[in-house]
Structure 1
Amino acid sequence: MMPTLRVVIHLDEREKAALALRNANNLVTDLEGVEIEVVTHADGVEGLRAGGPNTDIMDLLVGQGVRFVVCENTLRSRSLSEKDFPGYVETVGSGIVELIVKQAEGWYYLRP
């Protein structure tokens, strides 16, 4: 039996949001029991906005256990709030700190 794999996907570019979400979908489809967290900061947060072009696939992925987090520092710098994102999107104080902590905990790092 394969051990549970944990993957943190780094998204800091709006233009790569659809690609990052397709990567997450491929991982969920092809790796049974994989744990995935998509961490966004900088311009990447724009790819997760409520009502945006990626909402449908995000809804599908969250139903398969994928977590989405946005950086509070980025939200403040762009005058955004949690209300600008689907209700399942979580916040972390710093996106880059979240990425480092996940890697220190043994998560695989993926940056599309």
Structure 2
Amino acid sequence: MLIVLLNLRPAIEKYCQEFEEELEDDILSYDDWKKLRTIKDILQPFSRATLYAEGDSPSIDATLFMMDVLIKYLQETNDKFKAKTTSQSQDRSQNRGQNRGKGKKK
């Protein structure tokens, strides 16, 4: 469903522009679209795993293997997200510190 939404983004944005007053706070921002892409990317392996599990002869062994793969994937994704969030937080802190010094006169 997210794939369809993201593929229809140009049409959705055009619609939102036409009815901007009526929609007001319901219009998706750039950051909203970015979050939707991230969610789609995170969920993609689950879609593939589900299709695989629905195949002709899924076994317990294959199901357990797929679960291990998905758990590892989620852990890696979580680690990347935490690292990115920490990096962005540090960048903001550094920028605030630099901006404070610029306004002072000697």
Higher share in strand: 1
Higher RCO (CA 8 Å, separation ≥ 6 residues): 1
Higher share in helix: 2
TM-score (ref. length: structure 1): 0.24
